[in-house]
């Protein structure tokens, strides 16, 4: 298994993984051809240094896992750089094989190389199995993760995420 940043060719496989999940399924649109919204989103990510999709690829070049790793500068904690992990998925056939642990170890290594002093993530309160997985990796459930949905979410232009 190899770990590398995703390319645009990987998008259908990644969206398939995102959708192959009880919580993710109703939120995604895993169609062929892939909806433009995903390509637009990937283009926006490419514009943001330190915002990467990391994939786990098997010996047949099939994507078996993914996560999003974002490196964020900040003033708090004497200028601590944070890594944030989102959208973690492991293909069903590989769950419980240690692939998730190896994907996380790879991401932790990338975060350290980027100078991060902390990795953070939020996990849905319903994902009780995931909580055990993260705790075994050394994560502490010290915080409450709060979300506010904004609506309507109309397709934004790439330029909107820039300053000003």
User: Which residues ranging from 91 to 150 are in contact with a copy of itself (CB under 8 A)?
Assistant: 108, 111-125, 131, 134-135, 137-150
What are the φ/ψ torsions at residue 57 (nearest 5 degrees)?
Answer: -120, 130
H or E element in which residue 88 lies: strand 82-90
Instruction: Tell me how far apart the alpha carbons of residues 80 and 118 are, in angstroms, rounded to a whole number.
Output: 8
**Residue 60 sits in the site that holds a copy of itself (CB under 8 A):** no
Q: How far is the CB of 121 from a copy of itself (least distance, A)?
A: 5
Read off the tokens for 142. 């010290």
Q: How far is the CB of 102 from a copy of itself (least distance, A)?
A: 16
Residues belonging to the chain: 164
| Selected range binding a copy of itself among 54-62, 72-80, 90-98, rule: CB under 8 A | 72-80
Residues 16-45 that bind a copy of itself (CB under 8 A): 18, 24, 27-29, 35, 37-38, 40-42, 44-45
Instruction: Tell me how far apart the alpha carbons of residues 104 and 98 are, in angstroms, rounded to a whole number.
Output: 10
């Amino acid at each position: 298994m190899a770990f590398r940043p995703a390319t645009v060719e990987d998008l259908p496989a990644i969206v398939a993984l995102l959708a192959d999940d009880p919580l993710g399924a109703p939120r995604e649109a895993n169609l062929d051809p892939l909806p433009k919204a995903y390509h637009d989103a990937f283009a926006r990510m490419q514009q943001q240094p330190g915002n990467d999709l990391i994939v786990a690829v098997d010996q047949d070049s099939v994507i078996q896992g993914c996560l999003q790793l974002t490196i964020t500068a900040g003033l708090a904690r004497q200028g601590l750089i944070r890594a944030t992990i989102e959208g973690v998925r492991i293909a069903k056939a590989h769950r419980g094989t240690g692939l998730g642990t190896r994907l996380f170890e790879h991401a932790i290594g990338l975060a350290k190389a980027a100078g991060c002093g902390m990795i953070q993530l939020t996990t849905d309160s319903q994902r009780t199995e995931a909580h055990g997985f993260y705790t075994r990796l050394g994560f502490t459930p010290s915080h409450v993760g709060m979300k506010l949905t904004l609506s309507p979410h109309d397709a934004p232009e790439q330029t909107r995420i820039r300053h000003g």
